[in-house]
Structure 1
Amino acid sequence: MTNMERTTCLVVGGGPAGMVLGLLMARAGIEVTVLEKHKDFLRDFRGDTVHTSTQNLIDELGLGPRFAQVPHRRIETMRMQFDEGAITVADMRRLPGAHPYIALVPQWDFLDVLADAAAEEPTFTLRRNAEVIDVVRDGDRVVGVRYRDRVAGTEHEIRATLTVACDGRGSAVRAAAGLAPRSFGVPMDVWWFRLSRRDGDPVGGVGRISTGQMCVMIDRGDYWQCAYLIRKGSDGELRAAGIEELRRRFAALLPWMADRMAELESFDQVSLLDVQLNRLRRWDLDGLLLIGDAAHAMSPVGGVGINLAVADAVAAARILAPALRSGGIVPRSLLHRVQRRRLLPTAIIQGVQRAAHKGLFGQIMRDEPTQLPHTATAAGMADAVIPDAPLESLPLPLRLLQRFPVLQGLPARLVSIGPLPEHAPEWARRPATPART
């Protein structure tokens, strides 16, 4: 038997976009329920980059002191290491404001900050272990969803004036609603795994590019979250070669990690991230809005997906909250205003990512990995002592960034602030307060 519930705004997905939207709607006095599929926020696939625009939003919401209490690292410059040496591609220190850096924060901690703040609002409900299995329709209008309690195994129906899908690139709501995004080709997938971090390792993040291979490592304090790029669709073939081949490749790319590669005992420790880049032509149906990766899956290039999704949520709350407060059906024309507001920045970022896929990343994935010698130690790989790459070895755009460092502020602004940053509505702002103890 299906149990029936009711709310005003139903948010599917407890990621950054869903939790920000839930918090903002609750601060508008709107009854809002967030459905989160899992029992908690602990997942390695969660991205960790909280960019300048999102940190500014956190301050506007009065959550700056709480966010500051979460252990985090800072990226002030973005450097990439090639075989010939290293280059700086973006300098966040040239950005204006209180946060001229990218914060590396475990996303589960960030989500806990948002969830705790939202829980202080009387109209907010977070329902965990709630897996959406279908949408509920009244004629052509979406009026809610059916979900399964993953603990009890019971099915529930929750109806809402407005349903917002924030459930990511594999959106169950999008599939149930019969929507299919337009996909743009990508040349790579990503293997995702952990390796221990030691004193003397670089701080913040590491990017390494060589012929035929690339990796990015995220500093999580006591361990590295490692992303190793592989050719699109090659997961099965490469796994068949055995874990030793991955150990060999990674140790050759980053010799200072060689003595800890034995920590990778099997491919059970290696997860596949299916990289997608796509966009819905229309982000809404009657009664339904899709935002974030559910509307436009982003490539990991630049790590901007979280911040773009959060901006979608802020725009959606600002545009839709007044209508939800007044009661009645939210017209589809109003839902479409969210897409009109957010389409240009989305298209710009995806355009940059598509260019990167066709250029740098496409070339990396087309080439066969070279055999690299093990020539460096951990102490010899700190950012401060990696020699700069010779200018003549670089493509023209990268040469210009090195010759005129002021230009490094442009990619920093594109990545960390974005083309159209969103700000909290006045009704959602609060004085800065510490977390409750």
Structure 2
Amino acid sequence: MDQGQAGTQVCIAGGGPAGIMLGLLLAREGIDVTVLEKHDDFFRDFRGDTVHPSTLNLIDALGLRAGFDAIPHIPLPRLDAVINGIRLHAIDLTSLPKPNSFLTLMPQWDLLDLLAEAGAQHPSFHLRMGVEAIGVLEEKGRVVGVRTADGEDIPAELTIAADGRASTVRRALGLTPREYGVPIDVLWFRIPRPSVPLPDTLLWANEGGLLVTIPRPDYLQCGLLIPKHGFEEVKAAGVAAFRSRVADLSPRLTESVLAIESIDEVKLLSVQVDRLEQWWRPGALCIGDAAHAMSPVFGVGINYAIQDAVAAARLVIPALRTPGSLDRAEAIDRACAAVQERRQAPTAAMQAMQRRVHQAISTHSLAKIVDNPPTRGQRAALRVILPIVRRVAARLIGYGFRPERLRSSA
């Protein structure tokens, strides 16, 4: 990748979905952009896998579908949940417009490689791996670039904080998100696929808890939900108790979970939901998790980060082309404010839904949806309600509350 330069029009801290997508969109329009990613590669297993229909539509619009389809991934037109041993076809994405009437599960590092390679086709795209932004440059109250961990100053007309929920650049900007209490954490682990084929199932729930199983080509990536700060108790109980807990939630995985030989193979993913009240400062803008940390519920984190990037590109590109440095600075700040105005409401709405699901999980309400066997009343309710839920949930999960489109000139 390019080794960067002394200055740039836009400097993006963070090479996740928001940062790489925004960098690609700006470079396609000839905007000089430098993306800084503190790691030497994109390979991190705590990143989400879910690529939603709205993102697939953008992949198509960018002309990247052939490259996307060449990467191993698992399309899911329907999402099943097993509640108390009863399989429910909860979400049906085939009701969405074709061709992308499904979501797919793809390791995030593969998606980022695809977007980065597309960006590298444009001479104004500069991706610098292993370079961490730790501070910002300021002049007369305006952000004018970033400072790296190596002591390098990178001047920029616009600085983007896309460096995640623990954003260093956001902290340097003096912006603090409002945190919303989350009663759960997730234990992250992988197990082999069962020897007897298992239908693709994303959620298993009963009175004992909730388990997420994400099918990857060669294994299942799993998330066991536990009470907040409950990992120490799980570790103290030992690996046998952990295996038993997983098997109680999904008896079909009893054999597979024996592959977990030590509790050290289980990692803690701390769940948080927060949102900035102010996403920007003169010369700087926060997007993605740096602006709003999303829960894993519905797997919409990648989707919302990319939607932020698309909205930001559409709004800031005209501002970056404004003649005159003073007029351009004012136009950039108006564009940053407009990004927040456009993306804040759909983000808040989705976070509110996630928090309601957290409450249902923590009170075991999900396990009370259906008994085994279902009562007559439950069967009648499911016949009436499930078809409606399938379609509404497909729209909300597939697109979010305000799906974005590329600039028409792109």
Structure 1 and Structure 2 fold alike (TM over 0.5): yes
Q: Are residues 1:66 and 2:48 paired?
A: no
Q: Distance in 2 between matches of 1:323 and 1:305?
A: 27
Aligned pair in 2 of structure 1 residues 288, 251: CA closer, same or farther (>3 Å)? same
Secondary structure of 2:11's match?
A: strand
Looking at structure 2, the residues matched to 355 and 266 of structure 1 have their Cα atoms a distance apart, in angstroms, of 34
SS in 2 for 1:326: coil
2:233 is aligned to 237
In the aligned structure 1, how far is the partner of 2:372 from the partner of 2:396? 24
Residue pairs, 1:74-93, within 5 angstroms: 74-93=75-94
2:390 pairs with 1:418 = no
Letter in 2 for 1:97: K
Task: Note the residue ranges of structure 1 that are not aligned, 5 or more in a row.
Answer: 149-153, 368-386, 429-437
Tell whether 2:36 aligns with 1:35: yes
Q: After superposition, where does 1:143-292 map in structure 2 within 5 Å?
A: 143-148=144-149, 154-198=150-194, 200-292=196-288
**8 Å contact kept, 2:27–2:125:** yes
Which segment drifts farther, 286-295 or 419-428? 419-428
Of 215-224 and 203-212, deviating more is 203-212
Q: Return the alpha-carbon distance in structure 2 between the equivalents of residues 411 and 233 of structure 1.
A: 30
Q: Using the TM superposition, name which of 99-108 and 323-332 deviates more.
A: 323-332
Deviation at 1:47, TM superposition (A): 0.7
Are the equivalent residues in 1 in contact too, given 2:310–2:406 (CA < 8 A)? yes
> Are the aligned partners of 2:307 and 2:403 in contact in 1 as well (CA < 8 Å)?
yes
Query: Shift in Å at residue 84 of structure 1?
Result: 4.5
Give the secondary structure class of the aligned counterpart of 1:221: coil
1:21, 1:243 → 2: CA distance? 42
Q: Which amino acid aligns with 2:115?
A: L
Is structure 2 residue 307 aligned with structure 1 residue 311?
Answer: yes
Q: CA deviation at 1:393?
A: 7.2
1:364 equivalent in structure 2: 364
The CA distance in 1 between the partners of 2:165 and 2:207, in whole Å, is 30
Alignment partners' CA distance in 1, 2:297 and 2:194: 26
Q: Secondary structure at the match of 2:313?
A: helix
Q: For the structure 1 residues 396 and 177, does the alpha-carbon distance in structure 2 shift closer, same or farther, using more than 3 Å as the test?
A: farther
> How many aligned positions are there?
399
CA distance in 1, matches of 2:356, 2:263: 32
Per-residue deviation, 1:287 = 0.9
Q: What percent identity do the matched residue pairs reach? A: 45
Separation of aligned partners in 2, 1:155 and 1:191: 37
Over the aligned positions, Cα root-mean-square deviation in angstroms equals 2.3
Q: TM-score, normalised by structure 2?
A: 0.92
Which stretch shows the higher mean deviation, 320-329 or 96-105? 320-329
The answer to whether the 8 A contact 2:194-2:255 is kept is no
Counterpart CA distance in 1 for 2:139 and 2:380 is: 57
Instruction: Mark the CA change 1:42 to 1:315 in structure 2 (over 3 Å): closer, same or farther.
Output: same
Where does residue 46 of structure 2 map in the other structure?
Answer: 45
String of CA shifts for 1:270-298, please: whole Å, max 9, x gaps.
11111111111010011110011111111
* Amino acid corresponding to residue 329 of structure 2 in structure 1: V
Which residue, 307, 319, 322 being the options, matches 1:323?
A: 319
Q: Is the 8 A contact 2:13 2:132 kept in 1?
A: no
SS in 2 for 1:225: strand
**Other-structure match for 1:373:** none
CA distance in 1, matches of 2:40, 2:177: 29
Kept in 2, the 8 Å contact 1:283–1:291? The answer is: yes
Q: Distance in 1 between matches of 2:373 and 2:356?
A: 23
* Offset at residue 248 of structure 1 (A): 1.4
Q: What CA deviation, in whole Å up to 9, does each residue of 1:100-149 have, x standing for no partner?
A: 0001111111111101100000000000011222222223211222212x
Matched residues in 2 for 1:298 and 1:56: separation? 22
Measure the CA separation in 2 of the matches of 1:26 and 1:397.
52
CA distance in 2 between counterparts of 1:395 and 1:309 reads: 38
Query: Which amino acid in 2 is paired with 1:333?
Result: R
SS in 1 for 2:181: coil
Q: 1:174-231 CA distances to partner (integer Å, 9 max, x unpaired)?
A: 1222211111111100010111124543354431001131110111111111101010
- One-letter amino acid matched to 1:7: T
Evaluate the alpha carbon distance shift between residue 337 and residue 245 of structure 1 in structure 2; reply closer, same or farther with a 3 A threshold.
same
TM-score by length of 1: 0.86
Q: Which amino acid aligns with 1:144?
A: G
Between stretches 82-91 and 46-55, larger displacement belongs to: 82-91
What's the offset of the Cα at 1:399?
Answer: 6.2
Q: Which residue is equivalent to 1:354?
A: 355
Note if contact 1:4-1:156 (Cα within 8 Å) is conserved in structure 2: no
Equivalent-residue separation in structure 2 for 1:63 and 1:203 (angstroms):
29
Q: Retained in 2: the 8 A contact 1:135–1:142? A: yes
Q: Deviations over 1:369-390 (max 9, x none)?
A: xxxxxxxxxxxxxxxxxx9962
Q: How does 1:343-422 map to 2 (within 5 A)?
A: 343-358=344-359, 360-364=360-364, 390=374, 392=376, 394=378, 400-402=384-386, 405-422=387-404
